[in-house]
Amino acid sequence: MSDPIDFYFDFSSPYGYFGAERIDALAQELGREVRWHAILLGPMFKATGSSPTVQVPVKGAYARHDMLRTAELNGIAFRVPEPFPISTVACARIALYLEALDFSIARRFAKRALRAYYVDNVNIGEKSAALRLAGESGADSAEVAAAIESQPLKDRLRAANDAALARGVFGSPFVIVDDEPFWGFDRFDAMRTWMKRRASHADLSSIR
Amino acid sequence: MSDPIDFYFDFSSPYGYFGAERIDALAQELGREVRWHAILLGPMFKATGSSPTVQVPVKGAYARHDMLRTAELNGIAFRVPEPFPISTVACARIALYLEALDFSIARRFAKRALRAYYVDNVNIGEKSAALRLAGESGADSAEVAAAIESQPLKDRLRAANDAALARGVFGSPFVIVDDEPFWGFDRFDAMRTWMKRRASHADLSSIR
């Protein structure tokens, strides 16, 4: 079995949500497993001197329209949530905690939280909402509530985010497969083509 | 006949070059003409608080790799030029001057200059190189050399760039068709799908 695909996303990233809705099917098509990583874009924006796109003059208006169009073209249920963007520290901690505990509950939580935010306009930046969704995903809410306040988990999330950044991750979604990085939902098709060409031993040596 | 497609590009944008290599065929497929607009990203970066991607920490390294991969996946001849990025004021003035003079020479110049830079590593930021390429495209080099130093042309380029920014253009390539904006070479497929859906009267009213 080949190495899994590393899938990085921030809960406050619409394109990360689109990626989350598609990455498992794409991985299956490529015969790979997926490792999900909830990241925090805040520190990454700092490292790259960036801002949330919707807050950038001129580009922000375009981005809002492009999100809606991308969802429409891909048949993904979506509305621009309000408030947006939000802090995703609680969700990211929950995802990290569940990942170590029960892989399938973690995945269920991530997808459920993303849909709650981007379809049902639930503010998952609020800890209470995030914990409720963890419970609905099969986790013990009280246990999770305690865990996400613990210093070791906070430290682990910071370390995981630093490790992602050190690996070159700076946006959401971001996928790394066999050391090949793909930034953005708009690179999923390129990823598919790339992987299939590699599988058929096409000569891609010129750019490796 | 429907309105032409407005195609905006900066000579120092690799993805703009990729777009320039594909926009005519795509427009033909959609039954549209193309209006080419050489823009200057510098003032747009200022307006959006952005920087040339290759100069951004972490993201820059990714961008260089993604350019090569995008060219490879699309079968477009390409090498990362050196120096990069460059000033494209001379090229943009030449393109604007020729556009008013002879549409087909203007287009030939744009494509020739882009290929010179991205394939043959000619520094088209140097005025002499840009003028030589204008001559090779069928223009009178001496006439062009005089024109691009004239204040009216300088003013026209500034006004054209301001008009593009006012219309929401902030990157390269940037395409506007029937008031629908598409930023990036990676939106060409979306543009095709979008236009065909509109042509078939699919209901896209939800996001218009």
Binned at pLDDT 50, 70 and 90, residue B203 comes out as: low
A171/chain B closest Cα distance in angstroms: 9
With CB atoms and an 8 Å threshold, state whether B49 touches A58: no
With CB atoms and an 8 Å threshold, state whether B207 touches A68: yes
Indicate if the pLDDT at residue B49 is higher than 90: no
Nearest to A170 among B58, B184, B204 (CB): B58
pLDDT, one tens digit per residue, over B113-124 is: 999 999 999 999
Residues of A in contact with B57 (CB under 8 A): 47-49
A88/chain B closest Cα distance in angstroms: 22
> How crowded is residue B71: how many other Cβ atoms within 10 Å of its Cβ?
23
CA–CA separation, B16 vs A42, rounded Å?
Answer: 29
Three-state helix/strand/coil letters over B95-120: HHHHHHHCHHHHHHHHHHHHHHHHCC
Tell me how far CA of residue A110 lies from CA of A10, A97, A107, A136, B84, in angstroms. Answer: 10, 12, 5, 11, 41
**A83 prior amide bond cis, ω within 30:** yes
Indicate if the pLDDT at residue A202 is higher than 90: no
pLDDT, one tens digit per residue, over A46-99 is: 988 888 888 888 899 999 999 999 999 999 999 999 999 999 999 999 999 999
Indicate if the pLDDT at residue B87 is higher than 60: yes
B207/chain A closest Cα distance in angstroms: 6
- Rounded to an integer, the average pLDDT of A128-139 is 98
Residue A103, both tokens: 């892989």
With CB atoms and an 8 Å threshold, state whether A183 touches B62: yes
A128/chain B closest Cα distance in angstroms: 32
Query: Which of A87-96, A180-189, B40-49, B94-103 shows the lowest per-residue confidence on average (mean pLDDT)?
Result: B40-49
| Strand ranges for chain B from DSSP E | 5-9, 34-38, 174-177, 180-183
With CB atoms and an 8 Å threshold, state whether A72 touches B207: yes
CA–CA separation, A157 vs A91, rounded Å?
Answer: 11
Q: What is the pLDDT of residue A1?
A: 55
Q: What is the pLDDT of residue B198?
A: 84
Indicate if the pLDDT at residue B1 is higher than 80: no
Q: What is the pLDDT of residue A33?
A: 96
Indicate if the pLDDT at residue A32 is higher than 90: yes
CA–CA separation, B137 vs A48, rounded Å?
Answer: 40
Residues of B in contact with A48 (CB under 8 A): 56-59
